Structure 1
C-alpha cells in the first residue's frame, strides 16, 4: 500500500531534496551555505513532513472506506510457510499503531481525532535529524 518510513529512507530523501534545493538556487556545496539557510530561501516543505502527512491521510482514507475493496485485507504470507531468520520486517501499519494505538481503524472514523493525531505522527518524523 505504502512504503514503510525508515530512518535510512528519510535520510536519503532529505539529501536528495537538499541537492534539488541547492540546484534551484544555483548554490554549490563549495559555497558552504547551511541547509537551514537554503530552506529559508526556498520555503519548501521538508520531505519527511510531507511524506508522513500523506501516509497518515492515506491510512485514514483506507480505514474509512466501506466499499469492500481489499486494501486492508491484504497481508503477505510466504508460500513455503517458512520465515526468514531474524526480526520480522516492520509493516506499514505498525507506524500508525505507534501513534493511534491498536484500534487505529476506529480512530480514523472520527476525522477530528484523526487530524489531531496526525500532528503527533508528522512530528516524530520531523524530529529525526
Structure 2
C-alpha cells in the first residue's frame, strides 16, 4: 500500500512513531510532506523502515518517501528536485514503480512559486519512461470540489467544497498527465 501524509516533525521519536503507524496499518510506502527535515539523506527511522528525504530549511517545506526496509534494495534512483518535489524509482517483481512525493505551495503563496512547483512536477513526470508505473503521494493544497462536468475523465463527481484556483491546477495536471484524482472516485 502506498499513501501520503503531511508531517511537521523531526527524526527520532517522531520518526519512530511514523514507523510504528506504518507497521500497524501495513503501509509499505509512504510519501511525507512538510517534513521540515534539512538535508538530502536516507536514514533508518526504526521498526524496519527507511526515510529518503530532502529539505533546505528546517522551518518550512521538505518532502520525503518512507519505505519498508525490504524495498530499500529495490531503489534504483532517487531524484531530489526541490524541497517540494522528489521521486524514487524502484523495481519490484520486474515492475518499475516511480513514487513521487510533492508539496504544493499553499493558497497564500505567490503565483510564481506555485507555477515553479507545477513545472518541477511536470519535469519529473515527463522524465518517467512510458510503461513505468507512477504513484504520486502529494499535498496539493487545493480543493477540486464537487462535480466533474467537463472533467469526467480525471475525477469523480463527489468532492468537498467548491473548486479553487489550486484545485483547478490539480485537475489541469491530471489532464496533462492522463491521470486521475483518485480521492474523488467513490
Q: TM-score under structure 2 normalisation?
A: 0.22
Bigger RCO (CA 8 Å, 6+ sep):
1
The structure with the largest strand share of the pair is: 2
